Structure 1
Amino acid sequence: MDHPDGDRLYVVQAEQARRRQKEREAAAREARRPVCGRCGAKFTDERWDSIRHYPAQQHRELCDPCLHDHWEQVRAEQAARRQAEEDIAREAAEAEAKKNRGLFGRRR
């Protein structure tokens, strides 16, 4: 019972047990970490925290870079749509102006 190395052995074993427990917890956390639905990359801690804290957030399946790319694509599509609408309106105005400039058309 009075083994001089017993206390030291107990401390070493306890430290090893704590280290193994932390490793298991870290492995379990990594197994739960979501992956991006587009590129398959694992979420960063910040992105994971943001989707956990804001459950109504859109595009929860995308990682930060893919989410950024998605919003850039949305902005580009909106800009292209606005430009197309402006082009159509300008062409319609030009066509109306040409129609009124015929031989007997009124000039403004």
Structure 2
Amino acid sequence: MWGRLGRDEWQTLTAALDNPDGDRLYAVQAEHARRRQKEREAATREAQRPVCGRCGAKSTDDRWDTIRHHPGMQHRELCEPCLHEHWEQVQSEKTARRQAEEAAAREAAEAEAKKNRGLFGRRR
């Protein structure tokens, strides 16, 4: 009786020597090992993938590549949709602030004009 590597059954020595599938067995085992290695690498990559700080969604490959290649980029913790929302919010806040400043300047000009129209402050 003869036990062969990677097999559970026992064979006779002549059957083991006549059956030349050892190379095929090694190729199958090597393929399984490569597949398991790729799965481990994919799991490690997914574990390292950043998560959006606002919505909790995982970053896409494109976003992740952008983040890695531009380390000084602002708002790295946000995904694309949240980043667009953030910039829209910033733009709307700037617009609102500018409109408030214009309104305050207009009110100050109107107050100054009313001040000069008083009984003793008339201009002739």
TM-score bracket, shorter-length normalisation: 0.7 to 0.9
Equivalent residue for 1:69, pick from 39, 61, 85 = 85
Residue deviations 1:63-87 (CA, integer Å, cap 9, x gap) = 1111111111111111110000000
Residue number in structure 1 paired with 2:10: none
- Give distance in 1, aligned partners of 2:19 and 2:107: 97
Give the equivalent residue in structure 1 for 2:123. Answer: 106
Q: How many residues align?
A: 107
The correspondence for 1:95, drawn from 111, 114, 122, is: 111
Q: Give the superposed CA RMSD.
A: 1.7
The superposition leaves residues 38-97 of structure 1 with CA deviations (integer Å, 9 ceiling, x where unpaired) of 111111111111111111111111111111111111111111100000000111112222
Work out the CA distance in 1 between the residues paired with 2:91 and 2:56: 24
Structure 1: gaps spanning 5 or more residues:
none
Which runs of structure 2 are paired with 1:48-87 in the superposition (5 Å)? 48-87=64-103
Find the residue that maps to 1:59 and give its secondary structure: coil
1:30 is aligned to 2:15: no
Aligned-pair identity in percent equals 80
* Partner residue, 1:11: 27
- Higher RCO (C-alpha under 8 Å, 6+ residues apart): 1
- Structure 1 residue ranges (4+ consecutive) displaced by more than 6 angstroms after TM superposition: none
Alignment-mate amino acid for residue 20 of structure 1: R
